[in-house]
Every structure is written in structure tokens, then in C-alpha cells.
Structure 1
Amino acid sequence: MPISTATGAQPCPSDQWRHNHNFNQGNPLAERNTRWALLLTLVMMVAEITGGWVFNSMALLADGWHMSSHALALGLAVLAYGAARHFAQSQRFSLGTWKIEILGGYTSALFLVAIAGLMLFQSIARLLNPSPIYYDQAIALACVGLTVNLVCAWLLKEDHHHHGHSHSHSHHDLNLRAAYIHVITDAVTSVLAIIALIGGKLWGASWLDPVMGIVGAIVVCVWAYGLLRETSGILLDAEMDKPIVEEISSVIANQFSAKVTDIHVARVAQHKYSCSLALATTNNITADAVRQALSVHKELVHITVEINHY
């Protein structure tokens, strides 16, 4: 490579080697639908809290405040989308802003754990100290709440936003998935509440209400655990067990007589990875040749190669 000097050569055309680190193209439709889901949830939250106050129903009042936590989580998802888009061109983020969305999903999962704990506490308290239930009003409003949750779930269903995936690896918009799980959680608890309320009204089985609450809390915990595990793995770059890592090693082994001495793979967007690897070889291979060979994997969008000859 020619060296630029003050007395002769042209300056190095560095612009041709500059990288754009804005790997995340965003999800505008998901962001818009999450806003609609947030609005519907807020309206239903106000209706349930008002209904619980007017009808003197603790069950409705509790469900209204329970829905407020989901509204907060949906608001967090909208905020994460907005922040990722707003800071997309900021130089402070070395590999883009996609992980802001993942942080939103992780925080939503923590909210789910808190919601499950609150559901469990309230259900056990109600099981030990039963209180009068206004069945007709509670059933009617719970049915309305279920309808709202189903509409929100349809808005947030990921199939509406992404129909394909890169290569053979399936990834999800985890910020959207977190919002989706929140509304599905509310829908499931509404179904359980309706079953319990009908059972209590028809057969006097008032104990069904708190028992269904305990079942709902367990279901929420299971979903929260799965979401926490996936989002925390991305945030901590704990993804060296993904198939793409083995595929990179396979390309190096099959096309180059080189040994991989160091490799780092991290997800930088929904279907995209950054890869940094070091090779040791006795052959005259170049970093460009390695990058070209790895480019068959379209999910690799940022490849750094170090060649060590011995």
C-alpha cells in the first residue's frame, strides 16, 4: 500500500473503507402498532379503575391497576423504539442502537416478574381472607378487557411485521415480543378471571378466583424467564453457542489452511451479527479473501479479520 507524504503521493482514500454502523433498519409498523396498543390499554385501564371505584369492586380495581403496569411496559417499548431511532446516527454507539430495543425488552421482562409476584401475593391474600365479589359487573368488564387485550395482541403479533428471516436462523423483534407477552399475559389472566367469576357465580366457588390468580402468576413467570434469558444473552454478548459461529469456523477450515486463534461474534441487529476473528497460517492469504468467503452468510454485516503468519 502506498504511503502518503507531504511531498508527493495522493492522500489515502480512507472514505472507501469507512463503515456504517447503523445496522438496525427499525420497525416502523411495529412502533406504530405498539402506540395504538398503548392507547387502548390506557383507555381500558381508566375504565377498569373507574368501574371498580363506582361498583365498589376490589377485583376490578385491582385488575385496573394491574393493567397500568402493562401500560407502563408498552410505553417503555414505544420509548425504546423512539430512542433507537433518535440515536441511530450517534457516534457514541460503536455498533448501532439496536440494543436499546433489547434493553427495553429486558426491562419489560423484569416488569413481568414484578407483576407475577404481585398477582401471587394478592391471590394468596384473597385465598386466606375472602372478600365479597360483584360478579355481574366484574364478568362484564373482564370480557371487555379480554376483547381489548385480543385486539392489542393482534396489533403486536410479529407476523404482521416480519415475514422472512436471514439464512437459517430465526430471530424476533424482542422489544415487540416483550410488549406482545404483556398483552397476552393480561388476556390469559382475563380468561382465568372470567372462568373463576362464572364458577363463583354459578356454584359459589369463590376460591376459584384466587386459585386462578396463582395459576396465572406461574404462567407469567415462565414467559418472563424465557424473555429474560434471551434478552440478557444478547445484552451480555453471550451468543457464542449460535450456529453462525460454527459456520464461520467451517468456512475457514474448508477454504483456508488456517487456524482460528480468536473469534468474537455479537448480534448487532435483529438478523445481523458482528464478527471479529484472528487467524494463524503459513499460507499467503489476505483479510479481504477471508471477508469475501464469509460474505456468503448475509447475516454477517461487520467482519474484522487479523492474519498472523508464522
Structure 2
Amino acid sequence: MHTDKRSDWTHEHAFDPHSAAAERGTQRVMWITAATMVIEITAGWWFNSMALLADGWHMSSHAVAIGLSAMAYAMARRYAKDPRFAFGTWKIEVLGGFASAIFLIGVAALMVFGSVERIFSPQPIRYQEAVVIAVLGLAVNIVCAVILGQAEHHDHGHGHAPAHGHADHHDLNLKAAYVHVLADAATSILAIVALVGGWFYGWSWLDPVMGIVGAVLVAVWAKGLIVQTGTVLLDREMDHAVVDEIRQAVETGPGADQTRITDLHVWRVGNQVYSCALTVVTHDASLTPTDIRQRLAVHEEIVHSTIEIHLCPDPEPALVER
């Protein structure tokens, strides 16, 4: 009876292990943020503080965005072994980070709109009560930052180690949640400054101005996150150091003067792991894909490779000379 041995030659495509600590951390932060959001929006409306309302609505968007991050982890875990995902489900998490960054841009725009409106239509503010709520919001943000920081530390302790001097790649989905918390904390600090300035010095204009300053800060952080997540989602990785390392590994060593990479594609399939597809032209008739993989094995961050070899029987100067 014939026995199907294909399983001996196949492997799973879940290249990046799911982070249970990050998922738990984002879930906790989501519920804490949602509860604080309700308190701040209610208090901001009651005490008539634009800075406090901005902080509350800002936090509401963070509750949704952090919820998206938690959902991304859950979906990545649920579909981790689904063969329809050719290179695993890690990019679901990256997509969650990208969506969170878009939310941040929307929040920044709303903060500017609300603050400008208050500049032209100032209203009385009950400073003392508003300061108390703003301090509460800042305390909550600090707690949330600690929770996410512990989750990130747990990931670094159990994930892939950066190889060959590469910069450490953070969990972009967790980073998105962390940026939301930091943006909340910054907005809370600005709200406190504005309220104290108005309370003690009568600077009522400081409240909406701080709202605009906070919006600019949030927009800058959002832009950075969009660039990072967008780079991964669009597979714009060909300027990464690992690309040169692949070329060096393949085109150096025994028979290097007879072998050149003529086509190379590299993309990330996890926080610190990569896949590559390459075409090699060689005069060495004995060269096999297994030989190429052995040369690449020194770089542990390359977890999947597709190799095509073309034999060039007639020596060409382009292959002999660099």
C-alpha cells in the first residue's frame, strides 16, 4: 500500500507565535479605557471643559482602537492554522495597528475642530472639578501603560531574538495600543496644565490651545505608526539589511565567482522573521536549492525560502566579475 509522505516535506506557515500576554493586556486596557472614557466625557460636559471633553472623546476613540487591537490578536489566534493564509496570520495584527493609527488621525482632527470652536466661542469652566477628573484620567493612563509595557516585556523574553545586529522589531499591534495610551496620557497632562492655568491665572484661552497642541502631538505619533505598519502591509522591505545579508550568503563562499542572484524578493512574515524568493544563475552544475538553504541557514530570521536555480553553461563575464 502506498503511503502519502507529503507531510514529511511540508510545514506550518504560522511563522510568528501568537502573543497571549499582549492579547490579555490589550483586553484589560480596553475595558479600563472604556470605563474612564465614560467618566471623563460626562465630567467634561458637566464642568464645561474643552480640554477634558477632548481627553474623554480622545479616550473613546482609543477604547475602540484598542478593542480593534484585541480583536486582531483574537483573529490571528483563531485562524493561525488556516491554510488560506499563505504566510500565517501575523499581518492581521499589523492591520489592527494600521487601523488604530487611522483612528488617531481622526481623533486629532476632531480635537482641532473642537478647540478652534472654543477659541471663538469661549464658555465658563468649573476648573476645580475638571482638574480632579483629568488627574484621574492620567492615573488610568499610567496604569494602562504599565500593563502594556509588561506585555511587551513578556514578548521580548519569549520571542525571536534579533539576529546579526538587526534593530529589534516591536509588535506593531501592541505598539499601536501603547501609542494610544501614551497619546491619552499626553492629552491628560495638557488638560491638567490648561485647567490649572485657567484656575489660578484666568488663562481661559489655554484650554483650547492645549487641545490643539495635543492634536498635533497625536497626529505626529499617528503618522509614525502609519508609516511603520504601512511598510509591512505593502511589503516594502527591500531596503532592509537582511536583503544584503541574503546576497552575501549566496554569493560568497565556495564557487561564489560562478553564482549570482538575478532576482530577489524579501518580505516580513513576523515581527523579526522574513521570507524570501530568489533566482540564482550559476555555472556550477552541482549547485542545488539545498546548498543555497544551507548558506542562508546562518541567518535564523529567514524562516521560509523559495529558490530557483538556472544553469548557465557558457561562462559570462558578468558572473565572473563584480
CA deviation string 1:178-208 (max 9, x = no partner): 0000010010010011011101111111111
Shift in alpha-carbon separation, 1:12–1:286, aligned structure 2, 3 A? farther
8 Å contact 1:166–1:298 — kept in the other structure? Answer: no
Distance 1:122 1:187 in 2: 19
In structure 2, the residue corresponding to 1:162 is in which secondary structure? Answer: helix
Equivalent residue in structure 2 for 1:252, among 228, 250, 253: 250
- 1:121-144 CA deviation, whole Å, 9 max, x = no partner? 111111122111110111000000
Aligned partner (choices 285, 294, 305) of residue 292 of structure 1: 294
Q: Does 1:235 find its partner at 2:233?
A: yes
Deviating above 4 A after TM superposition, structure 1's stretches of 4 or more consecutive aligned residues are 9-12, 53-59
| TM-fit CA distance, 1:50 | 3.1
Q: Is the 8 A contact 1:165 1:171 kept in 2?
A: no
Alpha-carbon distance, 1:161 to partner: 3.1
Distance in 2 between the 1:211 and 1:136 partners?
A: 19
Q: In the comparison of the two structures, how many residue pairs are matched? A: 302
Q: Which residue in 2 is equivalent to 1:87?
A: 79
1:279 corresponds to? 280
Corresponding position of 2:270 = 269
CA distance in 2, matches of 1:58, 1:237: 41
Residue by residue over 1:241-296, the C-alpha shift from the partner in whole angstroms, topping out at 9 and shown as x without a partner, is: 00000000011121233110111111001111011101000102110010011011
- Larger CA deviation: 9-18 vs 81-90: 9-18
Deviation at 1:24, TM superposition (A): 1.9
Q: Percent identity?
A: 51
Q: Distance in 2 between matches of 1:205 and 1:252?
A: 66
TM-score, normalised by the number of residues in structure 2? 0.90
Give the match for residue 26 of structure 1: 18
In the TM superposition, what is the alpha-carbon distance from 1:12 to its structure 2 partner?
7.0
Match of 2:209 in 1: 211
Contact 2:197–2:206 (CA<8 Å) still a contact in 1? yes
CA distance in 2, matches of 1:220, 1:206: 23
CA RMSD of aligned residues (A): 1.7
Secondary structure at the aligned position of 2:86 is classed as coil
Among candidates 188, 191, 213, match of residue 189 of structure 2: 191
Secondary structure (helix, strand or coil) at the match of 2:298 reads coil
TM-score calculated relative to the size of structure 1: 0.93
CA–CA separation in structure 2 for the residues paired with 1:144 and 1:270: 35
Distance across 2 between alignment mates of 1:56 and 1:64: 12
Residue aligning to 2:145: 153
8 Å contact kept, 1:113–1:220: yes
CA distance in 2: counterparts of 1:104 and 1:196, whole angstroms = 33
Cα pair 2:50 2:211 within 8 Å, conserved:
no
Q: 1:161 to 1:19 in 2, by over 3 A?
A: closer
Structure 2: stretches of 5+ with no match in the other structure: 313-322
- Of 165, 172, 175 in structure 1, the residue corresponding to residue 161 of structure 2 is 165
Q: Distance in 2 between matches of 1:289 and 1:11?
A: 28
User: Structure 1, residues 147-167: CA drift from partner, whole Å, max 9, x if none?
Assistant: 000110111122343147320
